[in-house]
Amino acid sequence: MADSKLVMEVLKRIGEKIEEKKEYLTELDQPIGDSDHGINLARGFGEVEKKLPTLEEKDLGTIMKTVGMTLVSTVGGASGPLYGSAFMKIGMAWGGKMEISMEEILAGMDVAVEAVKQRGKSTVEEATMLDAMVPALNAMRTAAEEGLEKKEVLEAGCRASWAGAEHTKDLVATKGRASYVGERGLGHQDPGATSFSFMLEMVKDSL
């Protein structure tokens, strides 16, 4: 089970990881986007961290909705609305809960994927963060159904997520700013798929 204290620890670690990797994420964005993915995301999670002390007694739904709204209002570009929508949908799924099981974590990921699909009007194989999110969710589902431990479920998700991020180098983007460069984007890893993979890694390390 994960409770609000642990979830807030995960969010703090995600913020630290994005801050640490912001220049790398921005470099990934340069050939195919607005050259700001890492900078924008780090700013958003910096604002999230400022709000965490006010959320200590809150339920998980409130925490995740607050994260989502903060990201929407502080992160520019496409990633703010996409990540913001994902966190807000997780917040709705976890409304009123003070702790969650692995099944509820997977249900949260499920609604996050749907939120990104709807908001970005995109699906897999279009060189977006979905190319990391969907394989990660599928791998975690399979591992959980096989009765594996929480750590192994999360490890399976991380492996699939990084493989998916790597695979975006072979895809021609049809959505977002990356679609403007067409086939010139081949060979470039999607920054959103990469930032999601870093986030999932922090979930694994914390849980």
For 137-162, write each residue's pLDDT tens digit.
999 999 999 999 999 999 999 999 99
pLDDT of res. 65: 98
Multiple choice CATH, 2-206, 1.10.10.60, 1.25.40.340, 3.40.190.10, 1.10.1060.10? 1.25.40.340
- Residue from 41, 62, 55 nearest 5 by CA: 55
**Per-residue tens of pLDDT for the chain, all 207 residues:** 789 999 999 999 999 999 999 999 999 877 656 678 999 999 999 999 999 999 999 999 999 999 999 999 999 888 999 999 999 999 999 999 999 999 999 999 999 999 999 999 999 988 899 999 999 999 999 999 999 999 999 999 999 999 999 999 887 656 555 554 445 545 579 999 999 999 999 999 998
Report the C-alpha gap between 40 and 139 in whole angstroms: 29
Instruction: Judge contact between 88 and 94, C-beta under 8 A.
Output: no
- Domain definitions of the chain by residue range: 2-206
* CA 169 to chain CA centroid, nearest Å: 19
Q: Side chain identity at 118, as an amino acid letter?
A: Q
Residue 53 is encoded by which pair of tokens?
A: 């002390």
CA dihedral (86, 87, 92, 98) positive or negative? positive
Neighbours of 150 (CB within 10 A): 16
Q: Which of 127, 108, 111 is nearest to 119 (CA)?
A: 111
Q: Please tell me the predicted confidence (pLDDT) of residue 36.
A: 87
Per residue, what are the HEC states of the chain?
Answer: CEEHHHHHHHHHHHHHHHHHHHHHHHHHHCCCCCCCHHHHHHHHHHHHHHHHHHHCCCCHHHHHHHHHHHHHHHCCCCHHHHHHHHHHHHHHHCCCCCEECHHHHHHHHHHHHHHHHHHHCCCCCCCCCHHHHHHHHHHHHHHHHCCCCHHHHHHHHHHHHHHHHHHHHHCCCCCCHHHHHHHHHCCCCCHHHHHHHHHHHHHHHHC
